[in-house]
Structure 1
Amino acid sequence: MSTADDVPDSLSYQSLAGLLLSTGLAIFGLFALPLFQSFGLAFRPAFWLVLGIEAIALAGVVVSILTLHRRRTIE
């Protein structure tokens, strides 16, 4: 006899896509400072812009991880 505890969790593909996009945004943020400075921004405004990008990427990763697994229900 199988119980509800034996049923594996299902992956949320939307959360997985969000995780990949957020990771890509974070990687872009690592190399964005010289790019923004080449557009004429001073160091401090470019730094704050990159910090904002990294904060958005972090929030996306956290939300994606928290919603990654859905519990299947058998009814």
Structure 2
Amino acid sequence: MLVLDRILPTIPASALRQDQAGILARAQAGPLLLTHRGQAAAVLVSPQLWNQLVDHLQRRQHPPPNDKEQVEA
């Protein structure tokens, strides 16, 4: 099951210049909120989490047919 927190660890986008490898490593553990001039600017997620999110949304938009519906049809 996919579980996400609404409150994310926050990092200034400028920190990417100084610690890109460290920030990318932290993104493997969970999403990070990047800020620009103190305002939320972007969310950084790992490719694995992105794919999980896309799969989850696609399943919600296009659920598999219900077995009962197939029997009744």
**Fold in common (TM above 0.5):** no
Between Structure 1 and Structure 2, the one with more strand by share is: 2
Question: Which of 1 and 2 has greater Rg?
Answer: 1
Between Structure 1 and Structure 2, the one with more helix by share is: 1
Give me the TM-score of the superposition, normalised by structure 1. 0.32
Answer 1 or 2: higher relative contact order, Cα 8 Å, separation at least 6.
1
